[in-house]
Structure 1
Amino acid sequence: MQCRYACQSTEHAMARRQFLGTLAAGTLAAGSNLVGGLSFLTQPLAASELAKQQKRVIVFNMHGGLSQFESWDPKPGTPTGGPFRAISTSVPGTQVCELLPETAKQMHRLAIVRSIDTSEDDHGKGAYMMFTGRRQTPAGDFPRIGAVAAKALAPDNNGLPGHIQITPGGGGRTNDSAYLGPKYAGVVMGNGQPPQNSSRPDIVTQSADDQRNALRRAANERFLSRRRTAMTDAYAYSYEQAQQLMARREVFDVTKESEQDQARYGKHDFGRHCLLARRLLENGVSFVQVSHSNYDTHNENFIFHLEQLGEFDTPFATLVGDLADRGMLESTLVVVMSEFGRTPNINHIYGRDHWGKSWSVLLGGSRIVPGAVYGKTNANGTEVTDGKVDHAHMFHTYLQAVGVDTTKSFDVDGRPIPIADPASHPIKELLA
């Protein structure tokens, strides 16, 4: 069915921006000692070792604004509750909406924050706050959580990008790393396809490609011995990283997974994207973001959530179960968030509008206390009555959960910039 969204925001009037440049040119990084090659990137850690050691983050971006009433904070039988029931979960006393029966079985591995108040109802500003932990101002830009996680967590011996986004639509590179630089910007896998320009053209033989790269490296060595700068190092690094990514291009091919696993996740786009996310995490990618949209349900909210969460529930629950069964959940943070929630009031076209005053986020894994429920809203879900938190608290909590000390700063050209808002703090009750 079609929906003509009432908010008419630029986020929904325009397609995802496509950023210029090839994969090689977009992977610039200040590699101060890298000239000839990146041979140290050719030995990634085995998946079993990654499961024990490497910290990872996977974020599900429920783009548009997931309704807390139809997900993590149901209010059945109230004027604001809508038509759906609440169902029991694997955590005694904790209920979620009946649209999430498979996720309900995994709640003993997850936690809910039901007391978020960002007081922001704009799509762009709300998303910026939730992904950076800061309010958007003209004074400066902050890196999104994917860029921060890639810088803080990505191993040096993995040729894959540390920050990958899987989304419907086209691929490319983002500009979401701010002062951390393009090395940590997101690589977008449009519709789960491999990164752009990551395969050798058929008309170029392997031998010819090897000769070209040998000539390039020799020219780099000669040039850099006399005129070396941070920018020339960055270009050299970008080409070498692209070579390593091309060598591991099979990692991005979800058809390499078993038929059984493909069937368990579902062969629709979102199921395929979740299985791809698991594959990337197993191969050492530190941050994966999976987009599921569009939850901007200004009309027919209940029909849309019935369809959307029906698609989301089984693949997401399967992924959580797989991460646990493979020993990865202890080192992998899982987050399900959006830019805000939906209004308690149901409008005249059976929709819910934007609501930033009392909504929910699901998270789990790593240091998050399994089965926890933090915060509370009143009977009709119109306001937070206990444990009020905001975007900054959540940002601290996410990073602290994977071992990042958010009281520290990044050194940017000799200037310390706090990793997270220094005026805020993590939700300590959620951290084991």
Structure 2
Amino acid sequence: MKRNYACRSNEHEIARRGFLGTMLGTAGVVGGLGAFTNRSIATELERKQKRVVVFNMAGGISQLETWDPKPGTDTGGPFRAIPTSVPGVHISELLPKTAKLMHHLALVRSINIKENDHGKGRYAMWTGRRQTPAQEFPQIGAVMAKSLGADKNALPGHIRVSSSTGGRSNDSAYLGPAFASISIASGKPPANSARPEGMTEKQDILRNDFRRSADERFSLRRRSAQTDAYAQSYEQAQQLMANRDVFDITKESPKDHERYGKHELGQHSLLARRLLENGVTFVQVTHSNYDTHNENFNFHLEQVGEFDKAYSALVEDLVVRGMLDSTLIIVMSEFGRTPRINQYYGRDHWGTAWSICLGGAGIQRGAVIGSTNENGTAVKDREVDHGNLFHTYLQAVGVDSLGSFSIGGQDIPVADPSHAPIEELLA
């Protein structure tokens, strides 16, 4: 669906270069050359490997049309609240399928990040810290990929499923390019991952053997982190070429395509499941653009319906396949939307009192943390922010959020040490 509801920020238009071209040209590497498995269902050992999937509701989804409805108030809008599978907990009627799964999930209804700017809000929610010119911090995907051992896998450990044609981001900061995200285009194998036409498998093997030999000789004299990254990027590309089928959702059943929805989000979510099953540590799926300064209700009616179908299908599959206990699933934005409805039937930016949904891994099932007042204009109890959430995400998958990364001989805290996890949200 292509409509113009947004504030027309340049942040909504990000160009991406070709996938492998970017990998090789910038020596952006996803480390690790471990053996790859394409089994569709994880073994018991693999089920214990922690993974994370984030639904990025880009632009700022409305908490009032999703997780914290206020029907019958001057801010509530036209939609009803419906009961969920957790007694006493209600969410928007736009989420009927998700409502039946709330006993697997949890809500945080008391977020105040004190930011109403897209860029600053996104930075806070994805890094757990305020944006400052003094230091760039890695985003949650890079931190998870590093902390959960993604460099031991053949496939990239930090993948964004998007509509664009691929590329590597700079979201790993001081953790380096090995843990930066790679963007995979809609339900297709990575671009340029097929062997060149006319080249036989034997020729390809000989060519790569020669490259490895040359790299090893060069490394004896001038080895550095940059040369290691360059060499590993080629190895990663070769692994991807050997395992292109992992990204091909046409191999999934027609029934699954229908369950997830044949719209873009449904197909991206189905690919996310496929990636998680095959050992990818962190997957981001983006649904946009929720920046509804105009016609907020019409937009959410359609978009949240798409989300409800795709998201509920993924949660159900993680439960049935025994993966939810090892997979953290997060639904978040850079902020929420104003309780006040503007003259264009829209809602504006609102970082003061809003909500997210999460579940799986070490999250307490059925929990509801905090609340807002009657019309949603302020947090009523248990106020938390981006720093608390970041700590909680890490703790939920067994990462010590109070630990540090050793970078160039310097210890840098994994998460903002001035914050702490939401203990009552952890199982």
Shorter-chain TM-score: which interval? over 0.9
Aligned residue runs from structure 1 range 358-369, under 5 A: 358-369=353-364
Give the SS at the match of 1:41. coil
- CA shift, 1:22, in A, is 2.8
Q: CA–CA distance in 2 between the matches of 1:30 and 1:258?
A: 30
Counterpart position of 2:387: 392
In the alignment, is the contact (CA less than 8 A) between 2:155 and 2:280 conserved in 1?
A: yes
Residue 62, structure 1, aligned to residue 36, structure 2: no
Counterpart position of 1:260: 255
Which amino acid in structure 2 is aligned with residue 428 of structure 1? E
- CA shift, 1:229, in A, is 3.0
In the alignment, is the contact (CA less than 8 A) between 1:26 and 1:173 conserved in 2?
A: no
Q: Residue 142 and residue 302 in structure 1: after superposition, are their counterparts in 2 closer, same or farther (change >3 A)?
A: same
- CA shift, 1:18, in A, is 4.2
Q: Which consecutive unaligned segments of at least 5 residues does structure 2 have?
A: none
Q: CA–CA distance in 2 between the matches of 1:212 and 1:290?
A: 36
203-212 vs 136-145, greater mean Cα deviation: 203-212
In the alignment, is the contact (CA less than 8 A) between 2:338 and 2:349 conserved in 1?
A: yes
Q: CA–CA distance in 2 between the matches of 1:227 and 1:359?
A: 52
Q: CA–CA distance in 2 between the matches of 1:282 and 1:288?
A: 11
- Per the normalisation by structure 1, the TM-score is 0.94
Q: Deviations over 1:5-53 (max 9, x none)?
A: 46342213x344548943334554597xx9xxx4x43468871235531
- CA shift, 1:260, in A, is 1.8
Q: Deviations over 1:157-210 (max 9, x none)?
A: 421000000122332111100000001000101223333322212232222211
Q: Residue 79 and residue 350 in structure 1: after superposition, are their counterparts in 2 closer, same or farther (change >3 A)?
A: same
Q: Residue 147 and residue 260 in structure 1: after superposition, are their counterparts in 2 closer, same or farther (change >3 A)?
A: same
Which amino acid in structure 1 is aligned with residue 148 of structure 2? L
Residue 117, structure 1, aligned to residue 112, structure 2: yes
Percent identity, aligned pairs only, is 63
Which amino acid in structure 2 is aligned with residue 230 of structure 1? A
149-158 vs 367-376, greater mean Cα deviation: 149-158
Q: Residue 155 and residue 361 in structure 1: after superposition, are their counterparts in 2 closer, same or farther (change >3 A)?
A: same
Counterpart position of 1:10: 10
- Per the normalisation by structure 2, the TM-score is 0.95
Q: Residue 278 and residue 50 in structure 1: after superposition, are their counterparts in 2 closer, same or farther (change >3 A)?
A: farther
Counterpart position of 1:243: 238
In the alignment, is the contact (CA less than 8 A) between 2:29 and 2:236 conserved in 1?
A: no
Residue 159, structure 1, aligned to residue 138, structure 2: no
Counterpart position of 2:35: 41
Give the SS at the match of 1:330. helix
Q: Residue 220 and residue 17 in structure 1: after superposition, are their counterparts in 2 closer, same or farther (change >3 A)?
A: closer
Residue 277, structure 1, aligned to residue 269, structure 2: no
Q: Residue 240 and residue 185 in structure 1: after superposition, are their counterparts in 2 closer, same or farther (change >3 A)?
A: same
Q: CA–CA distance in 2 between the matches of 1:138 and 1:343?
A: 28
In the alignment, is the contact (CA less than 8 A) between 2:53 and 2:330 conserved in 1?
A: yes
Give the SS at the match of 1:398. helix
Count of aligned pairs: 425
Counterpart position of 2:224: 229
The two structures, once aligned, show a CA RMSD in angstroms of 1.9
Q: CA–CA distance in 2 between the matches of 1:23 and 1:50?
A: 30
Which runs of at least 4 in structure 1 moved beyond 6 Å after TM superposition?
none
In the alignment, is the contact (CA less than 8 A) between 2:109 and 2:354 conserved in 1?
A: yes
Q: Residue 44 and residue 181 in structure 1: after superposition, are their counterparts in 2 closer, same or farther (change >3 A)?
A: farther
138-147 vs 165-174, greater mean Cα deviation: 165-174
Q: CA–CA distance in 1 between the matches of 2:301 and 2:98?
A: 14
Residue 373, structure 1, aligned to residue 379, structure 2: no
Give the SS at the match of 2:418. coil
Q: Residue 133 and residue 57 in structure 1: after superposition, are their counterparts in 2 closer, same or farther (change >3 A)?
A: same
In the alignment, is the contact (CA less than 8 A) between 1:30 and 1:230 conserved in 2?
A: no
Aligned residue runs from structure 1 range 8-407, under 5 A: 8-12=8-12, 14-18=13-17, 21-26=21-26, 28-29=28-29, 38=33, 40-42=34-36, 47-407=42-402
Q: CA–CA distance in 2 between the matches of 1:245 and 1:50?
A: 23
Q: Residue 43 and residue 79 in structure 1: after superposition, are their counterparts in 2 closer, same or farther (change >3 A)?
A: closer
In the alignment, is the contact (CA less than 8 A) between 1:61 and 1:290 conserved in 2?
A: yes
Q: Which consecutive unaligned segments of at least 5 residues does structure 1 have?
A: none
In the alignment, is the contact (CA less than 8 A) between 2:52 and 2:328 conserved in 1?
A: yes
Q: CA–CA distance in 1 between the matches of 2:17 and 2:28?
A: 18
Q: Residue 281 and residue 377 in structure 1: after superposition, are their counterparts in 2 closer, same or farther (change >3 A)?
A: same
In the alignment, is the contact (CA less than 8 A) between 1:165 and 1:288 conserved in 2?
A: yes
- CA shift, 1:225, in A, is 3.0
Q: CA–CA distance in 1 between the matches of 2:374 and 2:281?
A: 39
Q: Residue 321 and residue 301 in structure 1: after superposition, are their counterparts in 2 closer, same or farther (change >3 A)?
A: same
In the alignment, is the contact (CA less than 8 A) between 2:18 and 2:165 conserved in 1?
A: no
Q: Residue 369 and residue 350 in structure 1: after superposition, are their counterparts in 2 closer, same or farther (change >3 A)?
A: same
Q: Residue 95 and residue 27 in structure 1: after superposition, are their counterparts in 2 closer, same or farther (change >3 A)?
A: farther
- CA shift, 1:153, in A, is 1.0
